[in-house]
Amino acid sequence: MTDKYDAIVVGAGHNGLVCSALLAKAGMNVLVLEANAQVGGAAVTREFTEGYSTSACAHLLYQLQPEVRKELKLSPQLATEDMSTIALAESGQHLRITADSVEGVSDEDAEQYRRFRKRMTRFADLLRTYLNKRPPRLGTKNFKDMLTLAQLGFDIRRLGKEEMQEFLRLIGMNMHDEVTERFESPLLKGAISLDSVLGTHLGPRSPNTIMTYLYRQAGDHGRVAVPQGGMGSVSEELAHAARGAGATIRTSMPVKRIVIDNGRVTGVETEGGEVFSSYTVISNADPKRTVMELVGAKHVETGFGRRIHHLRARGNAAKLHLALDGLPTIEGLNKKDFGERIVIAGDEHYVERAFNPAKYGECSSEPVVEMTFPSFRDESLAPTGKHVMSAVVQYAPYNLKAGWDDAAREAFKQTVIKTIAKYAPDIEQRISASELLTPADIEREFHITGGHWHHAELTLDQFLFVRPVNGAAQYALPVDGLFLCGAGAHPGGGVSGAAGRNAARTILRREKAA
Amino acid sequence: MKQGPVHQGRLKSPFFSRLEKLDFVNEWHEWKGYSSADQLYCSDTEYFAIRNATAVFDLTPMTKYRITGPDALDYLNRLVTRDMAKVRPGRVAYAVWCDDNGQVIDDGTIFHLREGEYRLCSQERHSAWLQAAAIGFDVTITHETEDVAALAVQGPTSYSVLSKLNLDGLGELKPFGLMHCDFQGTELMVSRTGFTGDLGYELWIDPDKAEALWDALFEAGELHGIRAIGTTALDMARIEAGYLAAYEEFLPADETVRTGVSRSPLELGLDWLVDFKKPNFNGRRALAEEKRKGSVWRLVKLDIEGNKEAHHSYIFSNAKASGSNIGFVTSAVWSPVCKQNIALGTVKTPHGKPGDTVWVEIYYQREMHWNRKMAKATVVDKPFWFPPRRGATPPGPY
Amino acid sequence: MKTYDAIVVGAGHNGLTNAAFLAKAGLDVVCVEKNDYIGGATVSRNLYKDWWYSNCSYVCSLLRPEIYRDLELHKHGLQVTPYGGSVQFMENGDYYGSYHDHEVAYREMARFSRHDADAYKTYSADTMRQCRFIRDFLLSTAPDPTSLRPKDLMELARIGGKFMNMGEDRMYETIRFWTMSVAEYLDEYFETDVIKTAFSGSGIIGTALGIHSPGTAYVLLHHYMGDVDGNVGSWGFARGGTGAVSKAIAGAYQAAGGELRTESGVDQIIVRNGKVSGVALENGDEIQGRIVVSAMDVKRTFLTCMDKNDLPEKFHRRIENFKIRGSSGKVNIALDGLPTFPALPEGSSLYHSDMHFIDSMERMERAYDDWKDGRWSEDPYIDMVIPTLSDPTMAPPGKHFMSCFVQYCPHQIEGRRWTQEEKEAFGQTVINQIANYSPDFKDLILHAEIRTPQDIEDEIGITEGNIFHGELTMDQLLFNRPIPGYAQYRGPVDGLYMCGSSNHPGGGIMAAPGANAAREILSDLKRPNTVPENWGDD
């Protein structure tokens, strides 16, 4: 046994860092243990080939909660912000969405889009309030829980009769129906569909995709930015804040298990055999890994273990990184457009068709792609005159029927490059090095079960009161002193810091009560 | 996977050919797909075979699982409420298992056959739950109901009967002990267990040897009043012994639809089976909370005045049956050996403490006409029937 | 000219039920029907020699027993005979059967997986709990959550109370149940593909969703919550085909003094001074009425039979966006004898069951992918029954009627009307799939009626031929059905009501929307209520 800490955080992902920084600020003696050599978890910048770096998983910043920024006095340096989204058309007649306006569509569509955004923004704001709260428990006599529930009811009512009706109707609906009801432009329908399914195992026809869209907007209203130096710089800033508040962060310290004695947490043991003791352990790891591997089934009860076992976390998003000798040529784009967010999602059917094979454990033959060229505004990422492309690609199912191996990975990489080449015919000549991270790779490298963006599928049956599962939705796991603070907990993934902050607040409230 | 079509109709136990020969009344019911006799000749006679001589009951349809693997003990310890570490090889434990809310899924017996190798025996079938409980454990659970033929040999002369089979070590076998011996070149497992509350054994053998075992047993028992019995007699004995039956005293919690119809072990009088010293087991948190706050229900053993059996009766706190009932009778029988009108029931706390007086509303039929009687009943603490011979080792040659 | 108290448009089972309860309250009611037969999609038709076809709906379970009893439908000739079981034929020559006898059913499941056999009891308890929760609200009007009226608040409180009564864990399970897909729901209980497939069909029947679409677990409920004689979840055949149901309700209606007019298709619902005044028929006649109740689906009611100018603009737009999708077709077949299914033992009770010819979840979902692309499923999910095995009245002795419900089948082919060739090809797809498991089947076919959603729309009038008059997705359920703010059977114009399956609680031969609408109408008219109350099932 070595030092005794007030709290140990397992994993220095952005949520773990937010949580530890807030706990340390409150005067707790916090130790953070990170398996990888860098802090940040899936929000890191790393060199994928000599001289070329990019954000390894998450590559855009759009959800960092203002509460987190304020409380930790963060001011991430942005290479670019308020990025437009350009949806590519094979014809070169691309569509451009900037904030709430859209170019390249009929006036009617543009007006509809403005209205659509107005409503979605309003609902996203409502949702956002609850992303930053601990979900209430149902059916208990806890005053705070009842208050939160009453407030939720009140907030929905306060939307006004008509908007309340719309909210209750839309929250379980699919994006496909909403976009086909509203819009004509295929590209617009495709781009919105893409935003509603990124990071999930859903297609635009799947009910629930309005909710996932709203979730995405529930940060900066869908305003997208790229941090200077990649996502790793956000993590570094968070780590800096945590250290500044007195937390100790130790990297390359993979945790082997969470030590439990007589039903209560007493510390953690690292792979290296070191034991750190604390009566409070907070796991930034995903719920499955936390419960099944770090804790062990024998320390939880069967029903709970079974729920964790059934937790759906099948990642579908792959990450493509290209080292480019120069920018590719895309007909209809100006050079400065390479600083924007460029998507390939022909129309809502295209996105749905890309999803189809994922249901059967196969990769999309025509994937949807979200591309950025981060080096365009940030010279630190590539040698002068050269560029880096970073793309999120769907769908590449974690549980590929044939299994992921080098050949399968290479084949999908070629599929993606071919898809991009339809719009950027010279891209293949420009590639000097490339890397594709499948969900299986993401699982291995970032220790996220299923390589899932949200650590657990973001659907209504795994949301709010039941995220990740019944009995753990208030951050505390059913082992005394053990908590979750990662994306698998409420509200979910994305670089928002909400889960980490909510967890920290829950722990501090308990400390105060004790 | 077995090829279809599936067997239609009832299954026959390996003892069926022998039971059929002894059957005079053709009264059978279905027990987990098998034909099982209500009675073969006369249930009262069969009952007295249990209390006075030797009764043989076909246990084969009992659900049996084999649990093996390095984590078998850890697995069982998380599964059931009692501490299985204390159950050494060669011992048998009565145990109860719960869901996360501390509600009973079933009770049964766990046989520690050999180091790290267990058999779990229960009335109901639980593969799904047992497999869910195995997530994260290095353990193998094998369903073996059809692979093991089983007989209960119960009653004061049962030791004398079995002695004639020359089973090594039988005399030293203590209650809840088990031993392996040879029967005609096949391994026979004998456990000193049963559902009658009397001196008795259970025999477990390969189904191929079932008939041979039966024949040998009946030959040995000829002069000791051996008799095959059906479920009716067995049920009388188990109520006298105060044993619980699934679907009578409780429902498997994972099959209930309504809220509040399941029971916790504390509510079934099984506090002694719940070991809070174990750091974790299914239901521990909920049961600790229940212990702190108090239970809703309490299982009671009732000694009822008069001789009218109190089947399905409501229980009241007063003779006038005013106010709402405080519970109901779950099993009732006239005990021939105790000459007592007895019952098991479930009542709301704080009613039902030992020594309390309650009233049961009995409806009984006489020549088509129904009569009602409010009968006074006393809550008793101990089983109605608990003879010293049950624990005697070596048992006497009754 | 005579002015009726009420005109009910459409003599389907809901229209007739509604009309019957209004007539029982002493109202002077006329029910008008465009076809020369009544019943809408609840019909038995003599389409070939001595065969009677249940050519749309074909089985019965949801019909509210309260209504059955109150309208004394037995006196009007209705008899529902339970049938049981189901079978999934498998590509490997085996099959998975579901049997009446619990132990045989158990043993069959255990043949594939003992885990699944034991999981079934928990699965059915959990599903039954959800059924019990929803069944209680079938014969009541959905409360409006935006309203502050005591009636709505009380009903909301009642639902809330019932929900709370489940206890914390089961409340969460309920939330999950209502939002998850049937495939995921089944994954939590079962491990065997064919067993999951057998249960999953109920999650998609009649919907434009796949088994993996969130929300389909609820649809499962819609097929489980019915009962025959209190046996929840069991299904039955109406003696004489499903037309017997509408005939009996019509009998009750006429016995109460109601008037029935067939071949009287409504062209327009007439609105004068912001109030309905009657209907104009396609033949030019006009019928005057104080109120008009439409049993048609809401799209047909408001988009076809009403003037846009009579409707609020937002209402109109929302009705336009109401989702009612053709996703299922039917093939009805007259047979010269009973086809044999060699996989089954001779005389197997499974001949009396629902037969399916699909054995994996992947095939189920792929069938849906075809529909999304505007085609019928190449490898469809077929729910096939031979009601003549239990009902001697539908075909001559020794002959049989076979009903095949087919999913998925689009309303239009890639956005245009079906051609005759395509329709034939669709029918062949179905016949071939069955023939794969029954070599003598094709030779026994005497006559086959192929019905695409478009045919059902053309003939019965239901938009896109959707069996539920509108998708059963969360955005169109309870207080959202058909559209928010209009979930209490009242239309946007004074005197106009809706009583079809587009309204809560939705489709199937339930008769609940018709009855619920009658209760609301009678309350508005300050007449005594004639609609029975929910019995509850405790």
Tokens of C100: 């009446």
A298 vs B100, B137, B285: nearest CB: B137
Q: What is the DSSP letter of C60?
A: B
DSSP string, C74-109: GGGT--EEEE--EEEE-TTS-EEEE-SSHHHHHHHH
Q: Is C337 part of any domain?
A: no
Chain B residues within an 8 Å CB radius of A476: none
Instruction: Report whether C281 contacts C267 (CB < 8 A).
Output: yes
Rounded Cα gap, residues C340 and C252, in angstroms: 41
Q: In sequence order, what are the residues at sequence separation of 6 or more whose Cβ sits closer than 8 angstroms to the Cβ of residue B13?
A: B19, B34, B35, B36, B58, B60, B61, B149, B210
Q: What is the DSSP letter of A143?
A: H
pLDDT, position C233: 78
Looking at domain B16-62+146-240, its CATH superfamily turns out to be Probable tRNA modification gtpase trme; domain 1 (3.30.1360.120)
A–C CB contacts, 8 A cutoff, strictly below? 97
Q: Is C124 part of any domain?
A: no
Q: Tens-digit pLDDT profile for chain C (538 aa)? A: 899 999 999 999 999 999 999 999 999 999 999 999 999 999 999 999 999 999 999 999 889 999 999 999 999 999 999 988 999 999 999 999 999 899 999 999 999 999 999 999 999 999 999 999 988 899 999 999 999 999 999 999 999 999 999 999 999 999 999 999 999 999 999 999 999 999 999 999 999 999 999 999 999 988 888 877 777 778 899 999 999 999 999 999 999 999 999 999 999 999 999 999 999 999 999 999 999 999 999 999 999 999 999 999 999 999 999 999 999 999 999 999 999 999 999 999 999 999 999 999 999 999 999 999 999 999 999 999 999 999 999 999 999 999 999 999 999 998 899 999 999 999 999 999 999 999 999 999 999 999 999 999 999 999 999 999 999 998 999 999 999 999 999 999 999 999 999 999 999 999 999 999 999 999 999 999 999 999 877 6
Instruction: Report whether C96 contacts C88 (CB < 8 A).
Output: yes
pLDDT, position C273: 94
pLDDT, position A3: 65
Tokens of B69: 């693997």
- Residue of A301, A307, A309 to mutate, testing the B interface (most B Cβ within 10 Å of its Cβ): A301
Q: Does domain A4-43+58-77+230-312+451-513 have CATH number 3.90.550.10?
A: no
CATH of domain B64-143: 3.30.70.1400
Chain C residues within an 8 Å CB radius of A356: 369
Q: Is A75 on the interface with B (CB under 8 A)?
A: no
- The HSE-up count of residue A61 (CA atoms within 13 Å, CB side) is 28
Nearest chain A residue to C373 by CA distance is A349
Give pTM, 2 decimals: 0.96
B–C CB contacts, 8 A cutoff, strictly below? 72
Tokens 């505390």 label which residue? A476
Chain A residues within an 8 Å CB radius of B81: none
Q: Is C223 part of any domain?
A: no
Q: Do C321 and A168 touch (CB under 8 A)?
A: no
Taking each helix axis as running N to C, give the angle between helix A348-359 and helix C361-372, from 0 to 180 degrees, rounded to the nearest 10: 170
- Class of domain A313-446 as given by CATH: alpha beta
**Amino acid occupying residue C476:** Q
- Residue of B6, B12, B289 to mutate, testing the C interface (most C Cβ within 10 Å of its Cβ): B6
Q: ω into residue A207 within 30 of 0, thus cis?
A: no
Q: Is C291 part of any domain?
A: yes
Q: Do C118 and B127 touch (CB under 8 A)?
A: yes
Q: What is the DSSP letter of C367?
A: H
Rounded to a whole number of angstroms, the distance from the CA of C153 to the nearest CA of chain B is 25
Q: What is the DSSP letter of A82?
A: S
With CA atoms as reference, report the closest residue to A477 among A277, A258, A269: A258
B128 vs C95, C119, C170: nearest CB: C119
With CA atoms as reference, report the closest residue to C247 among C22, C503, C40: C40
Rounded Cα gap, residues C388 and C352, in angstroms: 9
Chain C residues within an 8 Å CB radius of A490: none
Q: Do C167 and A177 touch (CB under 8 A)?
A: no
Q: Which H helix or E strand runs over A233?
A: helix A231-244
Instruction: Report whether A140 contacts C451 (CB < 8 A).
Output: no
pLDDT digits (tens, 9 = 90+) for A217-245: 998 888 899 999 999 999 999 999 999 99
Q: ω into residue C408 within 30 of 0, thus cis?
A: yes
Reduced to 3 states (helix: H, G, I; strand: E, B; else coil), residue C63 is coil
- How many helices (H) and strands (E) chain C has is answered by 17, 20
Using a 10 angstrom Cβ sphere, with 0-12 exposed, 13-18 middle and 19 or more buried, the burial of residue B58 is buried
Chain C residues within an 8 Å CB radius of B143: 114
E-strand ranges in B78-165 read: 92-98, 104-114, 117-122, 140-143, 149-154
Tokens of B36: 């099982």
Instruction: Report whether A32 contacts A17 (CB < 8 A).
Output: yes
Tokens of B164: 């004639």
**Amino acid occupying residue A2:** T
Q: In sequence order, what are the residues at sequence separation of 6 or more whose Cβ sits closer than 8 angstroms to the Cβ of residue A373?
A: A327, A338, A339, A387, A388, A389, A390
B33 vs C106, C111, C165: nearest CB: C106
Torsion, Cα of C494, C498, C503, C506 (10° steps): 170
Q: Do A298 and B133 touch (CB under 8 A)?
A: no
Q: Do A303 and B279 touch (CB under 8 A)?
A: no
Structural domain total, chain C: 1
Rounded to a whole number of angstroms, the distance from the CA of B78 to the nearest CA of chain A is 6
Q: Is B92 left (phi over 0), alpha (psi -120 to 50) or beta?
A: beta
With CA atoms as reference, report the closest residue to B91 among B62, B61, B119, B57: B119
- Residue of B1, B2, B7, B8 to mutate, testing the C interface (most C Cβ within 10 Å of its Cβ): B8
Q: Is B288 on the interface with A (CB under 8 A)?
A: no
pLDDT digits (tens, 9 = 90+) for C176-197: 999 999 999 999 999 999 999 9
Q: Is C50 part of any domain?
A: yes
Using a 10 angstrom Cβ sphere, with 0-12 exposed, 13-18 middle and 19 or more buried, the burial of residue B184 is exposed
Q: Do A305 and B132 touch (CB under 8 A)?
A: yes
Rounded Cα gap, residues A506 and A496, in angstroms: 17
CATH code for position C11? 3.50.50.60
Q: Which H helix or E strand runs over B55?
A: strand B54-58
Rounded to a whole number of angstroms, the distance from the CA of C108 to the nearest CA of chain B is 6
Chain A residues within an 8 Å CB radius of C324: none
Nearest chain A residue to C366 by CA distance is A356
Nearest chain A residue to C216 by CA distance is A207
Name residues of chain B where pLDDT drops below 70: 1
Tokens of B375: 């009968």
Q: What is the ipTM, given to two decimal places?
A: 0.95
Reduced to 3 states (helix: H, G, I; strand: E, B; else coil), residue C446 is strand
Q: ω into residue A395 within 30 of 0, thus cis?
A: yes
Domain boundaries, chain B: 16-62+146-240, 64-143, 296-382
Q: Is A252 left (phi over 0), alpha (psi -120 to 50) or beta?
A: left
pLDDT, position C230: 76
Q: What is the largest CA-CA distance in chain C?
A: 71
Chain B residues within an 8 Å CB radius of A301: 78, 100, 280-285
Q: Is C71 part of any domain?
A: yes
Q: In sequence order, what are the residues at sequence separation of 6 or more whose Cβ sits closer than 8 angstroms to the Cβ of residue A118?
A: A100
- The HSE-up count of residue A41 (CA atoms within 13 Å, CB side) is 33
Rounded Cα gap, residues B141 and B245, in angstroms: 24
Q: In sequence order, what are the residues at sequence separation of 6 or more whose Cβ sits closer than 8 angstroms to the Cβ of residue C157?
A: none
With CA atoms as reference, report the closest residue to B190 among B198, B199, B181: B181
Tokens of A327: 């920018």
Q: Do C484 and A170 touch (CB under 8 A)?
A: no
Q: Do A172 and C473 touch (CB under 8 A)?
A: yes
Rounded Cα gap, residues A297 and A294, in angstroms: 9
Of the candidate CATH numbers 2.40.30.110, 1.25.40.10, 2.40.40.20, 3.50.50.60, the domain formed by B296-382 belongs to 2.40.30.110
- Residue of C98, C115, C168, C232 to mutate, testing the B interface (most B Cβ within 10 Å of its Cβ): C115
Q: Is C365 on the interface with A (CB under 8 A)?
A: yes
B280 vs A263, A292, A306: nearest CB: A263
Rounded Cα gap, residues A169 and C145, in angstroms: 12
Which alpha helices (H) appear in chain B, and where do they start and end?
16-22, 43-52, 72-79, 127-133, 158-163, 210-221, 231-240, 284-293
Q: Do A298 and B280 touch (CB under 8 A)?
A: yes
Chain B residues within an 8 Å CB radius of A260: 279
Tokens of B339: 């000459």
A461 vs C168, C179, C480: nearest CB: C179
Nearest chain C residue to A202 by CA distance is C213
Q: What is the DSSP letter of B206?
A: -
Q: In sequence order, what are the residues at sequence separation of 6 or more whose Cβ sits closer than 8 angstroms to the Cβ of residue C23?
A: C29, C253, C256, C257, C258
A302 vs B279, B282, B285: nearest CB: B282
Rounded to a whole number of angstroms, the distance from the CA of C179 to the nearest CA of chain A is 5
C475 vs A170, A356, A470: nearest CB: A170
Domain boundaries, chain A: 4-43+58-77+230-312+451-513, 109-217, 313-446
**Amino acid occupying residue A479:** V
Rounded Cα gap, residues C196 and C194, in angstroms: 5
What size, in residues, is chain A?
Answer: 514
A466 vs C175, C209, C321: nearest CB: C175
Q: Do C213 and A173 touch (CB under 8 A)?
A: no
Q: Which H helix or E strand runs over A506?
A: helix A498-513
Q: Tens-digit pLDDT profile for chain A (514 aa)? A: 456 999 999 999 999 999 999 999 999 999 999 999 999 999 999 999 999 999 999 999 999 999 999 999 999 999 999 999 999 999 999 999 998 999 999 999 999 999 999 999 999 999 999 999 999 999 888 888 889 999 999 999 999 999 999 999 999 999 999 999 999 999 999 999 999 999 999 999 999 999 999 999 998 888 899 999 999 999 999 999 999 999 999 999 999 999 999 999 999 999 999 999 999 999 999 999 999 999 999 999 999 999 999 999 999 999 999 999 999 999 999 999 999 999 999 999 999 999 999 999 999 999 999 999 999 999 999 999 999 999 999 999 999 999 999 999 999 999 999 999 999 999 999 999 999 999 999 999 999 999 999 999 999 999 999 999 999 999 999 999 999 999 999 999 999 999 999 999 999 999 888 7
Long-range pairs, B26-32, Cβ under 8 A, ≥24: B27/B230, B29/B231, B30/C103, B31/B61, B31/B231, B32/B61, B32/B63, B32/B125, B32/B145, B32/C103
Tokens of A326: 């120069």
C215 vs A207, A349, A359: nearest CB: A207
The residue range of the domain holding C286 is: 3-80+239-322+474-524
Q: In this complex, which chains have at least 3 CB pairs below 8 Å with chain B?
A: A, C
With CA atoms as reference, report the closest residue to C110 among C122, C98, C100: C98
pLDDT, position A1: 46
Tokens of C360: 């994996």
